[in-house]
Amino acid sequence: MKVSFSELSLPQTGSLALCVGGDGSLCALGAQLDALTQGALTRAMKVEKFSGEAQSWLSIVAPAHTDLDRVILLGTGEASILDIENAGGVLAQKAESLALREVFVALADSEQAAHFAYGAQLGGYRFDKYRTLEALKARCVLETMTVATTDAEKALQAYMPLDASAVGIALTRDLVWEPANVLTTEAFAELCQTLTPYGLEVEVIDSKQMAALGMGAMLGVGQGSMYETLMVVIKHNGGAQGQSPIAFLGKGVVFDSGGLSLKPNSSMNTMKEDMGGAGTVAGLMVTLAKRQAKVNAIGVLGLVENMPSDKAQRPSDVVTTMSGQTVEVMNTDAEGRLVLCDLLTYTQRTFKPRAMFDLATLTGAIITALGDEMSGIFSNHDELAAQVTRAGELEGELVWKMPLGDSFKRLLKSEIADMRNNGTKLGVGGSSVAAQFLHNFIENDTPWVHLDIAGTAWRSDNLPTKPKGATGFGLRLLDRLVKEQFED
């Protein structure tokens, strides 16, 4: 969707969208239009009992005394920034049923104008690549949005970093939607290499190099796949030279069949989403580059496919991680932690980051605990965890603090190796056991945050700015965190 900002005025023709506060109040231009139409807006609101509640909408067709096709009223409730974004998202999602390709929005406040357009970008996202039937291909989408506002230049300035975020989120969503027969580990790595025009440095580390580095845990996961296990390092050098970077690590299991500990079909058929962490990291790096964030940031993606085969690792195999610690693989479906542990060691030893964030669709147990709109956060650094939590609240990406500790560590005791990869007690604290496993790989108290996004990376229903399907959860939150805590 093309977005532009113009000076505040009423259009003569076409479709116009207006925001309405939770008390049913129209903005100045809305009141002007209401007078022009001899009260058509207020009458329509009354008839339809439209109160301006957040996320509600009302379409008024061909209002008399104007040449407008439609006026669309969008409820904003308390009119927080997130409410305004949601109004934009609702409008973009209604475009199909209203046959709306072009819309004019009047929103006096320039900050709100920018966030409205951002919400519309996020809400209007669709993945239509594989629809070839005309009827589906021809579904109407919003193509052009003009937001009329008091200070168009200021709105545009506010919109630029938001556009960078929307572009990153769209990339993340595309990656997560892409099925695993197309987005293989190799295709994913190749795609990362096309990101250099953003100013990013991209390096692909192949499995030979990984073997030389001693990454036995991650390589074990990919052993059964016909595709190569790969690691991708994406660098954004926006900070002072020599400044210690922040690092983002992503679980990139392009498909998680469970391996020989095979998943039942009902839980396997969504497992193309298991690269959601890596997808978010790739998108985030694009966002940081596109908005020229003044920070040195590193994205590390662990790309691997978890498949059963005669080559696959077996339950009871012992692998040696890059850290030197050994792991007894008692369940090949607890593979995410085997990927992340080597990424953690590699990142710490190679880049000495000042803080490290990993994102992973790690455990089904986090969905049981927190549902599908909150991610679990685990950390060795309370202050950093609090900052992440706060950033999440402001961005509409909620996270909830979960525990680490010795009681979970005890569940990882192995009869043969330094630890096992799943807990000894079935169904006991699964998300914390997984996080505790990762904690075993943190060196020198490096500030570390683990986000378990198993419940939030993919949605089974619509939210205004997170349409059904891949969400890109975590990108907004981390982008804000970078801006507020780590930029020069």
Q: Which residues are catalytic?
A: 263, 337
- The reply to whether 424 sits near ligand BES by the rule CB under 6 A is no
From ligand BES, Zn ion, Mn ion, none, which one binds at residue 320 (CB under 5 to 8 Å depending on kind)? none
Spell out, one character per residue from 430 to 449, where the chain touches ligand BES: x when CB under 6 A holds, - when not: x-------------------
Q: What is the distance between the alpha carbons of residues 482 and 488, in angstroms, rounded to a whole number?
A: 10
- The reply to whether 422 sits near ligand BES by the rule CB under 6 A is yes
Looking at the Cβ atoms of 176 and 253, the one nearer to Zn ion is: 253
Q: What is the distance between the alpha carbons of residues 57 and 283, in angstroms, rounded to a whole number?
A: 31
- In angstroms, what CA-CA distances link 461 with 38, 356, 465? 39, 31, 12
- The reply to whether 239 sits near ligand BES by the rule CB under 6 A is no
| Nearest by Cα to 341 from 286, 420, 270 | 420
Determine whether 9 is exposed, middle or buried from the number of CB atoms within 10 Å of its CB (0-12, 13-18, 19+). exposed
The minimum distance between CB 337 and ligand BES, in angstroms, equals 8
CB count in 10 Å sphere of residue 415 = 8
Residue 251 assigned as binding residue: yes
The minimum distance between CB 404 and Mn ion, in angstroms, equals 21
- The reply to whether 217 sits near ligand BES by the rule CB under 6 A is no
From ligand BES, Zn ion, Mn ion, none, which one binds at residue 397 (CB under 5 to 8 Å depending on kind)? none
Radius of gyration (C-alpha) of the chain in whole angstroms: 24
Q: What is the distance between the alpha carbons of residues 92 and 12, in angstroms, rounded to a whole number?
A: 21
What's the N-to-C CA distance of the chain in angstroms? 32
- The reply to whether 369 sits near ligand BES by the rule CB under 6 A is no
List binders of ligand BES among 256-315 (CB under 6 A).
256, 274
- The reply to whether 333 sits near ligand BES by the rule CB under 6 A is yes
The owner of tokens 């000495």 is 352
Stretch that binds ligand BES, among 14-22, 96-104, 184-192, 333-341 (CB under 6 A): 333-341
Q: In what order do the strands lie in the sheet with 13-20?
A: 2-7, 144-149, 102-106, 13-20, 67-75, 57-61
Residues lying near Zn ion in the complex (CB under 5 A)? 253, 256, 274, 336
Q: Residue number with the shortest CB distance to Zn ion?
A: 256
Residue 484 is classified by DSSP as: I
The minimum distance between CB 265 and Zn ion, in angstroms, equals 16
Query: Which run of H or of E encompasses 118?
Result: helix 110-123
The binding site comprises: 251, 256, 274, 333, 335
Residues found near ligand BES in the complex (CB under 6 A): 256, 274, 331, 333-336, 361-365, 422, 430, 454
Residues found near Mn ion in the complex (CB under 5 A): 256, 333, 335
